[in-house]
Every structure is written in structure tokens, then in C-alpha cells.
Structure 1
Amino acid sequence: MAESESYPMNGGDGTYSYAKNSIYQRAVSNVAKDMVDEAIAEKLDVKSLTSNSNTLRIADLGCSVGPNTFITMQSVLEAVEKKYLSHGLASKVPEFQVFFNDHGTNDFNTLFASLPHDRKYFAAGVPGSFYGRLFPEFFLHFVHSSFALQWLSKLPEELLDKNSQAWNNKRIHYTSASEKVVNAYATQFTKDMKMFLNARAKEIVAGGMMVLLVPGCPDDIHHSQLSTALLFDFLGSKLMDMVNEGLVSEAQVDSFNLPVYFPSPMEMARLVEENGCFDIEIMELLDPRSNMNYAIDVHALIMHLRAGLEGIFTKHFGSEIVGEMFERTSQESAELSCLLDKSNKRNKLFVVLKHR
């Protein structure tokens, strides 16, 4: 098992819970749904996958607490079942087993309490970091991961070293930082992704498929143009306002950085090719707003951000400071909305890999 820091989303089903504030992740998954269905229909060789077993095993890595993971897993099952039926294999449709994975600190109680009663699969929880091995060799047939791989296994140590050129003072992310800071993040992502691919190369059967959905960055733009990066910068500016008012110490801000990285298609392709165990079937950037028939509600977006980040902020700054930070962010939603309107829209990296 790999050692990795844990950054769980807000559990439970309260006001600030991830379960009630993950609509934007769901919107991205909806944009990708037809592409996943098509990849399964055209690329997944169901005959060979289950030739020696009547069970098809699927894992969702970084599943959090639902309901998005249940919606996605049901969609994958339906696409696989449709593939069997389209090939005249109705009598060969396997039983399905779905493994829900996340760190041990994830709210698995909420996850399993909300499992769909009409599900057509056997469910199991697998606690642990996906940056290491989680399953036996050649065990899984299909792997899915959505909005999880952007979280680094740990923060690059040089960001907190005042003597390092990558010391990231007065900032909480690499958005507006020096290239040394950006490179430190990129180096850590490279290490993490290599571990992730090595582990999955051992766990997935030959011909098995992996679908990854990760907040990303186009090859031809600067990371400061990304909407999520702008959000992080905005949160950082609220913290610095509080430093100037004496509510937070500058040292507290200097010693905090968000362990999140947005890879480009070029970076991801290079790492997959270096691993050598997977063929890239699809790799492209999606615009999640293309499937939305409503305007983005900035207040809802801030709630979504809070559901995902409150835990890591609270651990460092305390709940009172974090509550104030998000309240100030909400009060300046008009300014934030203007920033987001100028951001790059094609910023979700969709990847389909097939095990050789």
C-alpha cells in the first residue's frame, strides 16, 4: 500500500456536504457519458474479458460519498450489458461486482447507507490510496476515476522551505507563482501518476479498460487562465485580506499550499507512453458547460468548492477562519463571476486507456 496524504470531501448529507454539493462534477460526467458508452461499445472485448469467469469486476477509484459514483457505475454497467446484447450474448451477460475505493478517512458510512436499492451489482468498499496497489494481479476488467487524480499524494516539500527557490510565500497554489513552484507541483504529479499507472498495469486484465476524468489544462494556455486555478487564487486573496486585518498570520498562509495539480494532455500522454502498458484510445479536453442548459450559479459553485476543500483548509487554519474565508468569497460573487467568464472552458481532461 502506498503512503499518501488523505484529503476527504465533506461527509454526511448536511448543508456543506459533498453529497449535496457535487452537481458540477456530475455535469462533467454527463458530458463524458456518451463518449464512455461509445468506447465500451467499440473498444471493450467482452467475449475475452469474461471467458474464464462469469463475473465482471469494476472499480471506481476516488469514489467519495455519492451520489455521482452510483450514477456513473450504473451507466457503465448498462453500456457493458448493451455490448453483450448487441453481440447476441444475452445468455453470457455476467454478474457485476463494483469496488468503491477511497482513503480510509472517506465517509464510507454515508456512501453505503445511500447505495441504490435497485442496483444490479454486488458492492464492496476498498479503503486505501490509489497511488499504490489495491487489488490482486489481473483482477479488474474496468476502472473508472473522476475528479480524483488531481489530488497529489503529498505536497512537494520545497514549497515550505524558505531557502528553496520554490518557496511559495503568500500564495496557496501555483496559479500565479514562479516556474520553480509550478515545476515542483509538476514533478510530484509525475511521480504520483507513474505509481498510479504501474499499480493499475498489474491489476487490470489484458484488454481491460480505464476511464479517467481529471481537471486539466490545455497545452497551449497558461494555467492562470483555468477557472479552478482562478478560484484558488481568489480564496488565497481572501486569506491575505485577513492577514492584513490581523485575523490570520502570514506564516500560516506561507505554510499552506493546496496539493492539487492540473495536467495537460501532453503531460498525460507522455506518462502513459512511458509506462508502456496501455494504449491511448481517447484523450481530449471537454467543456463541461456544453451540456448545461442553465447559467452557472456562483454561490452554488462556492458551496461546491467548500464541500471539496473545507476539510484541508480547516485542518490548517481552523473552522472559524475557514468559515469567514468562504463567507467573504460569497460576498464578492459578482467579482468572481466576472473572473470565471474570462477563464478557459475546455479544462476537463477525458482519457480512455486500454490494457495491452
Structure 2
Amino acid sequence: MMQYMTDIHLSSSQKVTADDAKALLVEAIAENLDIEHACPISRSTYRIADLGCSVGPNTYTAMETIIEAVVQKYQSKGHLELPDFQVFFNDHVSNDFNTLFVNLPREKQHLAAGVPGSFYTRLFPKASLNFVYSAYALQWLSMAPPEIGDMNSPSCNKGRISHLNAPDEVGQAYSAQYAKDMESFLSARAQELAPGGLMAILIPSSKDGNLPAQTSPGPYIQPLESSLLDMGNEGLICKDKINSFNLPIYSPSLEELQTVISDNGCFDIVRLEAQSREYGFLSTTEECRAGLGSILGSYFGSENTDVLFERYSKKIAGRSRNVPDDNSCTVGLFILLRRINH
């Protein structure tokens, strides 16, 4: 299974949304961290994992925010002695961990370790973590639904590279793949988090009432898709290759997210709320390439990808970067889960 990193060059709107979540994160820890009963697992170590960390700097800021909030909680309870903090930075095996560790803040408050691998599988020993964090990584599926790339399937997504404006069958295939992946994610974390441990997730979500086919990772999909189809029509890329390609990205609805968490049965939803901002800004070429260049390059080749983003740049030239009025925007969800004591 594949897991794609959330690159250092997050779109500006996603970065703003992540920054807005910091206050929610601090407040959630202050209100829900149970020091007396749930942590630390070892009296000397508090363990945190950032799943889908990429290469920074957003992960550094998030980890410091979590640690500072935990320290404040300890101090508020009159604890003079603090545990050591250990942070595990996780992303797929091709992530640039060298860059990640070279740029770690010198004055960091934690011990650091890298854990390569897909977060849709087990990564840590049982009950070894106190806190799990993941920001804008779980919109990446382990794979695009196989049937939508099958030319003989009724769910074939011919002429599109996402579920935006696709038939209902395509949206349903994405939704089913999301539910399967999220169950794998929750089941793995349920084994790794100690009873009472917390997990904070930031994830893009579709607006209430929208069908899967009405939402998208952002309006950059349309000019990217158009550029790719133009290259197919001009014979630069085989049309069948384009028709078999689909981005493994999905933004679930609030109802979908609640359902999969409930069905898993290992976590209480302590807090779940939409952030005030919508994001759907038209990405710059650099932002789009940072987020999608790797998967496009591995499928279509680096030379074709260079041409693709040149065309993308021309298509978005002069367009407004404001959030559009249509349904292509998503909202950021902040979810805090607590591992149930069984």
C-alpha cells in the first residue's frame, strides 16, 4: 500500500488551516489529557507520533505545540518532574528523512526518531504511544479504487483523474476505498495507543450535503486534468494510460467519518468540529507540483510531468486565488479521539 507525503510546500490555504487548529489542539489537550490514569505509560517517557509528517517545518511546530500543552497540563496538576518526550516522525519510505532531521530545531524539547512505512499498517508496539497526531495526510488513500481504472468496469472513470464531477459509481468507489483504509488506520492505532491515549486528526472534508462527486481536493484538479487530457489528444501521452490514472485522494463527509469511527468501536469522539475556514484556493504551480509531482512523475515520467506543469501554469495564469462559490471547496475538520479502555 502506498502513502504519499504531505509536502513541505502545503498549499497556503492548508497551512493557514493547520495554523488555526493550534488553539484547538492546546485546548483539547488541556481539557482531555488524563495524566493521573492514562499517562505516562512509563513514568519517565511520554511518546508522540506524527503520522504523515513529511519534511517540515509544519511537523516541528505541531510537535512543539503538543509538548508545550502537555507540559502545561503536568504543571497545572502540581507535577514538578516532567517526563522525557519522544517524538516518532512517520511517513512513507521514500520521504526525505535526511532533510527532516537535518532541520530539526536545535532547541527541541524531545528525542526524535524516524519511522518509515504506511500508516495504514502497524508501526509501533502495542500500547506504546500516548498521543498520535496527523495533519492533512489522511486524504491520501492507500490506492485509487482499482475498478475506476479498469476500462471494462462500469465504474471506469474515463476522462477524469478524480471523483470531481464523476458519475455516482465513481464517488461510491472512492467512498468505499476510504472506509476500508480508515478502518485499517484506526485498527492499527487502536493497538498502538495506550488506553486513554489521545489522537488528533486534521483532515479535509466535503461540505455537509455534498455528494462525493461534488467535492475535490481543490480547484487545481480541473486545470491539471484539462492539461493532461490535452496532452493525450495531441498524442504526447497514451490516452489509455491517462484513462487508467486516478488520484488516490478523497475528502470524506462528516457523516462518513463518524460512521467509520463508530464502526471501529475502539475510540470515543471527544471533539469533532469544522474549522471556520474553507479552503479551495487555486494552487500555484509550485504548490501543485509539490503535492502531486511525485505521483504524476512516477506514472507518466518526469519529462511528461515537466510539460504537464508548464501547461498547468498557463491555464491558471490570471485566475483568482480566492475560494470559489461552487462546491469544489472543502472544509478542515479537527477530530480528537480517545482510546477506549477495554
TM-score of the pair, normalised by structure 2? 0.92
Pairing 1:348–2:332 present: yes
Q: Unaligned regions of 5+ residues in structure 2, if any?
A: none
SS at match of 2:252: coil
**1:234 corresponding residue in structure 2:** 223
Structure-to-structure mapping, 1:136-215, within 5 angstroms: 136-215=125-204
Structure 1: gaps of 5 or more residues: 10-17, 291-295
Deviations 1:245-271 (A, max 9, x none): 232221121011101111111001011
Question: After superposition, what is the alpha-carbon deviation per residue over 1:66-98, rounded to whole angstroms, capped at 9, x for unaligned?
Answer: 111001101111111111112222x13211000
Please tell me whether the aligned partners of residues 50 and 134 of structure 2 are also in contact (alpha carbons under 8 angstroms).
yes
Normalising by structure 1, what TM-score?
Answer: 0.89
Kept in 1, the 8 Å contact 2:217–2:250? The answer is no
Quote the residue 1:81 is aligned against.
71
2:54·2:96 contact (CA, 8 Å) conserved in 1? Answer: yes
CA distance in 1, matches of 2:290, 2:242: 21
Q: Deviations over 1:168-206 (max 9, x none)?
A: 111111111111111111111111111111111111111
Matched, 1:311 2:294: yes
C-alpha distance in structure 2 between counterparts of 1:287 and 1:271, whole Å: 24
Alpha-carbon deviations, 1:136-189, whole Å to 9, x = none?
A: 111100000011111111222111212211111111111111111111111111
Q: Are 1:42 and 2:31 an aligned pair?
A: yes
Question: Given the alignment of the two structures, is residue 269 of structure 1 paired with residue 258 of structure 2, yes or no?
Answer: yes
Q: Judge conservation of contact 2:171–2:213 (CA < 8 Å) in 1.
A: no
SS of 1:207's equivalent in the other structure is: strand
Offset of residue 7 of structure 1: 3.0
Q: Against the structure 1 CA distance between its residues 8 and 277, is the aligned structure 2 distance closer, same or farther, given a 3 Å change threshold?
A: closer
How many residues in Structure 1 have an aligned counterpart in Structure 2? 338
Question: Which residue, 58, 62, 67 being the options, matches 1:68?
Answer: 58
Superposition deviation, residue 47 in structure 1? 2.3
Task: Give the Å deviation of 1:228.
Answer: 2.6
Corresponding residue SS for 1:162: coil
Pair 1:60–1:311, CA change in 2 (3 A): same
Matched, 1:100 2:84: no
What SS is found at the alignment partner of 2:95?
Answer: coil
Corresponding residue number in structure 2 for 1:13:
none
Amino acid at match of 1:73: M
Q: CA RMSD in A?
A: 2.2
The answer to which of 338-347 and 217-226 deviates more is 338-347
Structure with greater helix percent: 1
Distance 1:179 1:157 in 2: 16
2 CA distance for matches of 1:289 and 1:354?
Answer: 26
Q: Alignment partner of 1:219: what SS?
A: coil
Fraction of identical pairs, as percent: 44
How far apart, in 1, do the equivalents of 2:43 and 2:321 lie? 54
- Paired AA for residue 167 in structure 2: S
Deviations 1:195-226 (A, max 9, x none): 11111111111111000111111231244554
Alpha-carbon displacement from aligned partner over 1:73-125 (angstroms, at most 9, x marks no partner)? 01111111111112222x13211000001111111111111111100100001
Partner amino acid, structure 1, of 2:292: L
1: distance between equivalents of 2:135 and 2:317?
29
- Is the contact made by 2:196 and 2:339 (CA closer than 8 Å) also made in structure 1? yes
Cα distance in 2 for partners of 1:111, 1:273 equals 35
Structure 1 SS opposite 2:219: helix
Deviation at 1:5, TM superposition (A): 1.8
Residue identity in the other structure for 1:342: D
